[in-house]
Every structure is written in C-alpha cells, then in structure tokens.
Structure 1
Amino acid sequence: MLLSQFQNDLIEAGCDEAGRGCLAGPVFAAAVIFPKDYYNPILNDSKKLSEKKRNELRPIIEKEALAFAVCSVTPQEIDKINIHNASYKAMHLALDALSVTAEFLIIDGNKFIPYQEVPHTCIVKGDGKYLSIAAASILAKTYRDEYMDNIADEFPQYEWRSNKGYPTIVHRKAVLEYGPTIHHRRTFRVTDPQLKLAL
C-alpha cells in the first residue's frame, strides 16, 4: 500500500464510497487526508478486512488522519439523481466537510464528477493500492454499517443487521412479501431474472 505517487507537494485526499449496490439505505462516502510520511501496514480495502478489523481501524484512522469526513445521500435523493450521481455527491459533501483543504484528489473507481477546480485522478481498485483511499473505504463502510444496524430493529423482517441493505435473497423475498420501507430505493429492481428460481 502506498501513501501516494501523484502529487507529493500537494495536500492529497483519498475518496471512496459504500453502499452503491444496496436496495436500502443511503450511500455513504468518505474523504481522508494523511500526513505525508504516514504508514500503516494493516490498512487495506475494506472488503478484504473482517468487520472486527474494520471497526478496530476506524478510530485509528480518525486519530491519525490530518483530516477526515464522512457524508451520505438519502435513498430519496438517490432515486431523484441516480446512484452514480448520488455517490459523487456524497464524495463532494465529504470533501466540503474536511477541516483541511485538499489540493489533489485520488478517487476509487474509473469515473468522477470534478470537485470544484481541484485536480483528481481515478484509480481502479484504488482501495487496495493507496492508504488514503483504503482508509476512506473503511470509514464509509463502518459508518454505513452502523447506520443500517441502527435502523434494523425497526424493520426486522429485512435482516439488515446481516445484509446491510444489500440484495440478498432473504432481503429480496422480504421486499416482495412486505413491500418497501421508507429506507428502500424505489428505482432499484428487487427481482432479478437470475434469481427467479430462488425466489
């Protein structure tokens, strides 16, 4: 994992999102700025870490980062502007909320809507390559998981504590049986031809 190889003389923020493919819940995004000499051998793509390890890393990231921010966009807004634009909006909101102004951005993925006039580069699978993006992926994921856990008891039939709003078979079946909640994205397809037999 690298700190950066792009703009060593600029203040650089890494950005990532969590929850893009979910049927329910907001999409979350985080932005993280580390000191230029920062190193943490444990940091990695949040998808490659256990939930316990992600939760252990979260306070470390928050303590050791020069600045960090986590923001979200609601399911209702996702339905209005689509999930791609909502993901970029969540990243922009996180960048707005940073206590230190970023001068260069590294973004996980292959697309991004430019933020103000700050230069950026997109990195496919960047959360497995760069420390600040990995940290952003962990913050976005842990904050989103916490949010889904907090609303899970209100709608237990959807089993959000285990699926976090992702389209598992159990979650899809529950939507078909009980209907969508205020937390569901109405523009997302619940059924899938490939799952027809399973449902």
Structure 2
Amino acid sequence: MPYEPPTHTVERSLRATTGARTVAGVDEVGRGAWAGPVTVCAAVTGLRRPPEGLTDSKLLTVNRRTALAAELADWVTAFGLGHASPQEIDTLGMTAALRLAAVRALEALPQRPDAVILDGKHDYLGRPWQVRTVIKGDQSCVSVAAASVIAKVHRDAHLAELGARHPEFGFEGNAGYPAPIHRQALEEHGPTEHHRMSWAYLDALPRWRHLRLPAPRGAAARTPEPAGDDGGQLGFF
C-alpha cells in the first residue's frame, strides 16, 4: 500500500520556534510484549535526505527493515538505545519504565538534544526535556521513523538471542509478544526470567498464576495484546 514518506517538517518547526540546534526523534518497541525489555531509540538525523523507503518499522518487511537499520546506523548523525528490563517494568509500571528507557537512550547520545520529538500523543518523558508529541510520528517525521527502525531491529535481535536459549517460546519469531507458540510454552514450562511477572496473562495460566506479582501502585495491569508493535547504552550488544 502506498504511503507518504516522512519529512523534516516537525524538525524544522522546532528549530524555527524554539531555536533548537539538535533535535532527537524518539520511538519505543516492546510495550505490548509479554517478555523482554521495552526498548527506546533516540535518533538525531539532521536535515539530510533520508534513505529510500524509510518509514514506520511496522510497515516494512523483516528483510527490508534489517537492511534499512544497517544503512541508518551510518546515515544518522547519532543514535542511542535505552532499555528497561522486565524486572524494572514490574517494579515501576510501564509509563515509568518507558521514561527510564527513553532517558537512557537520550543520555547515550554524544550531545544532549535541545528538543525531542516523541511518537504518539502521550508525553511519558516530561521535564526537563523539551518534548513535542506527534501522533504517527514514526510515519511522518524522519528522525522518529529512523528511531523506530533501529529500535525494532535491535530488540528483535536481542529476543532472537533469548530464543536460542529458550527455543520452546519462539522468541525469534514473536519477539516476546503474544502468539500461540508463546502461550503454549508458557502453559507447559512457565515463565522465564525474561517474562513480565505483573501482567494479567498469568491469570490465564492455572499452573503459574501464583507467580504473578502485584501491579505497581498506580499502574494498571497489562492484559494480553495481539502480536506486533504499538510504535541505556550506545548499541544493544
């Protein structure tokens, strides 16, 4: 299906209205997964012409996304990755864990950005960062689209590594998201140390529901979501 390529419109607007010299696009992946970290990428792209085919990572095939991430690693001015572990998600709740991962990603950049474009309508980052939220920013903003692709490829690679250690869960295919093979493995083997233990999927597993941790105060328990995406350190490995 044809789509409009992302532009630098928001990046230019922030430069013009706030005087920002460095603008970072930020996107996350792994919010709806049962296992693995939530991963955030912060990408600084400048105003150069982006690689052909850049868009939201969810609109790309696996092969195209992987090839594009390799191209972006050399094309972007800088990028940083931040992660919040399943244990941090269980302790803090998803919103606070997202902020933790985003701060880690931004602090991994060689230079603190003057402004941040955050994908979506909710500002989970907050002060002291100067944030502009953009719904579907991963499709419309170059820097956010770049962050989307880099975050997705790095997290998928990490989950594939976990899948080699726990092949019964099919992490290399489902990236820790709800999927039939994932649910079956949970029923038979129970959760691993890579699973989020405060989430409601455990309620549907009679043998293992006693392991469920209480949701953090003020954080809603997560219920099962379909496979797929919503939308630190320098590098993951």
Same fold (TM over 0.5): yes
Q: Which runs of 5+ in 2 are unaligned?
A: 1-5, 205-222, 227-237
1:109 aligns with: 120
**1:4, CA displacement in angstroms?**
3.2
Distance 2:32 2:182 in 1: 13
Over the aligned positions, Cα root-mean-square deviation in angstroms equals: 1.9
1:7 has 2:18 as partner? no
Distance 2:179 2:56 in 1: 22
Q: 1:172 to 1:105 in 2, by over 3 A?
A: same
TM-score, length basis structure 2? 0.77
TM-score, length basis structure 1? 0.91
Distance 1:78 1:51 in 2: 27
Contact preservation (8 Å) 1:88, 1:112: no
2:147 aligns with: 136
What residue identity is the alignment partner of 1:90?
Answer: A
What residue identity is the alignment partner of 1:4?
Answer: T
Contact preservation (8 Å) 2:200, 2:224: no
**1:194, CA displacement in angstroms?**
10
Contact preservation (8 Å) 1:22, 1:165: yes
One of 31, 39, 57 as aligned partner of 2:42: 31
Deviations 1:16-54 (A, max 9, x none): 001100000111110000122333341100000011111
Q: Which runs of 5+ in 1 are unaligned?
A: none
Contact preservation (8 Å) 2:178, 2:225: no
2:214 aligns with: none
1:60 aligns with: 71
Helix, strand or coil at the partner of 1:70: strand
Distance 1:144 1:61 in 2: 16
Distance 1:88 1:113 in 2: 6
Helix, strand or coil at the partner of 1:153: helix
Distance 2:50 2:197 in 1: 42
**1:116, CA displacement in angstroms?**
4.6
Distance 2:51 2:75 in 1: 10
1:181 has 2:192 as partner? yes
Distance 1:173 1:43 in 2: 36
What residue identity is the alignment partner of 1:3?
Answer: H
